[in-house]
Structure 1
Amino acid sequence: MTVKRPEPAPVQQGRKTTFIEGITTPRYNHHTAADVGSRNVNISRNITRSSANLENAQSWQFKYAQLLDVPVEDVLNHKLYNFIEEWWGTPYRMGGKTRDGIDCSGFVNMLVNTVFQLSLAGNSVQLYNAVQKRVSARDLHEGDLVFFKIHHRRISHVGIYLENDKFVHASTSAGVMISDLKEPYWKRYFAGGGRL
């Protein structure tokens, strides 16, 4: 069976055109150059700093913005994320300090020394005792240390806070990676933050 469609009615100047089931749109004349000149059509007025940054963003910024669940424009510390990229996936090895294997405090010491140019050494307990200021989870900033008491009464794990509750560390299960402080496991063992 063939359905016959009605022929469209001819369009008349100044009349409304009916499309589907009573949906209408008013007919209007095209603007002249004089009309356009009288309106503010400055495109640069609508370009914000963040949209300009987004257009110039690098692939590493997109990657880490996605991992941290933050806007691309907020991922700015190239030195930090380049360091993480170089060490990403390095397996955990107690006492290790090479790309063949590294432990949590070795990774934190190396990151702080390389990226933030601060002289830092020691295991997680020593780092906890070395911080100048204790910081709550809600007051953490990029570069702060995050400490955990995992199956111990004392500090047994350390990482570096990044942004949006995310931190980088050398985990025993997956090596150097980014984790979330809001994950039940990390939330359960979180012992506090520290600022150098």
Structure 2
Amino acid sequence: MLKNLAYITILACLATSCSVFRPAASKPAPGVVAEGNPNGVQFLSNVSVKPDTRKDNSRSAITEMNTNLGNVPEPGADAKAIETYPALKFKYAILENCSVEDLDNPKLLSFMDYWYGTPYHYGGTTREGIDCSAFAFLLMSSVYGVATLPRTSKEQYEASRHIRRNELQEGDLVFFHTLGKRRAVTHVGVYLRNNKFVHASVSGVMISDMNDGYYDRHFVGAGRVLDPAQADAGTQASVGSRSAGL
């Protein structure tokens, strides 16, 4: 009797075991393509991800998301305008302590950038080495068309029309004494704006500030070799003749 009861109990367990485990076995295992979704992999809550067939050269494990960020506001007109200025203007706006709008002489910018950093060499006239008066001569000739400026700084000072320091404008010459206590002119630069001038110093072609202690103490005077018409025509290929008194 007991044996028959045990035998019946075992049969009942075997009969119910298939119905208990069948639903679990019918669920797709993770990573298996779900029926009706041949291009994707089905996960819990019926969420599917379509594989990206594009090649990812970055070797990153992060996939690209198609996220709609909406319309990005366009920058204002002023912001757009300032972005059109070339990098050269930003560079020299910083060096000259001015706004990019003030730099309206592209020939001068190009000339300075071509020579900037050229080492100093007494008597030199090339990018291998140049001295102050040769640099001033080449700048005035190339940018403003003044081709008859004398060669030395002393002669340039004597040939220019002397002006006061507070009258300086772009293209004027500034003169200094750099040897001993005598105030004889031994150095020349070309004035830009905001007390800045470009010159071939012993450290190379650079932009300096006239208010710096050394140049302020050694300033001799300023000279003008351009008439107003020449100064206004600084961006043109050719300009008028030099002013009277040269």
Give the alignment's TM-score, normalised by structure 1.
0.71
Per-residue deviation at 1:121?
2.7
Residues 133-167 of structure 1 show CA distances to partners (whole Å, capped at 9, x for unaligned) of x1222210000000001233310000000011000
State whether structure 2 residue 94 is matched by structure 1 residue 66: yes
Corresponding position of 1:194: 223
Corresponding position of 2:185: 155
Corresponding position of 1:167: 197
Per-residue deviation at 1:54?
2.5
Structure 2: distance between partners of 1:135 and 1:165: 15
Question: Which letter does structure 1 place at the counterpart of 2:207?
Answer: I
Gaps of 5+ in 1: 1-45
Give the secondary structure class of the aligned counterpart of 1:161: strand
State whether structure 2 residue 112 is matched by structure 1 residue 115: no
Structure 2: distance between partners of 1:146 and 1:60: 24
Give the secondary structure class of the aligned counterpart of 1:162: strand
Residues 54-84 of structure 1 show CA distances to partners (whole Å, capped at 9, x for unaligned) of 3421111100001111111101111001101
Structure 2: distance between partners of 1:107 and 1:154: 19
Contact 2:150 2:159 in 1 (8 A): no
Gaps of 5+ in 2: 1-75, 226-246
Question: Which letter does structure 2 place at the counterpart of 1:77?
Answer: N
Q: Please, what is the CA RMSD of the aligned residues?
A: 1.8
Question: Which letter does structure 2 place at the counterpart of 1:66?
Answer: I
Runs (4+) of structure 1 exceeding 6 A deviation are none
Contact 1:159 1:168 in 2 (8 A): yes
Structural mapping, 1:129-144, within 5 Å: 129-132=158-161, 134-144=162-172
Give the alignment's TM-score, normalised by structure 2.
0.57
Corresponding position of 1:20: none
State whether structure 2 residue 153 is matched by structure 1 residue 124: yes
Corresponding position of 2:108: 80
Corresponding position of 2:207: 178
Contact 1:61 1:76 in 2 (8 A): no
Structure 2: distance between partners of 1:154 and 1:47: 52
Give the secondary structure class of the aligned counterpart of 1:177: strand
Structure 2: distance between partners of 1:137 and 1:183: 15
Residue correspondences, number: 148
Per-residue deviation at 1:52?
6.8
Contact 2:183 2:220 in 1 (8 A): no
Corresponding position of 1:36: none
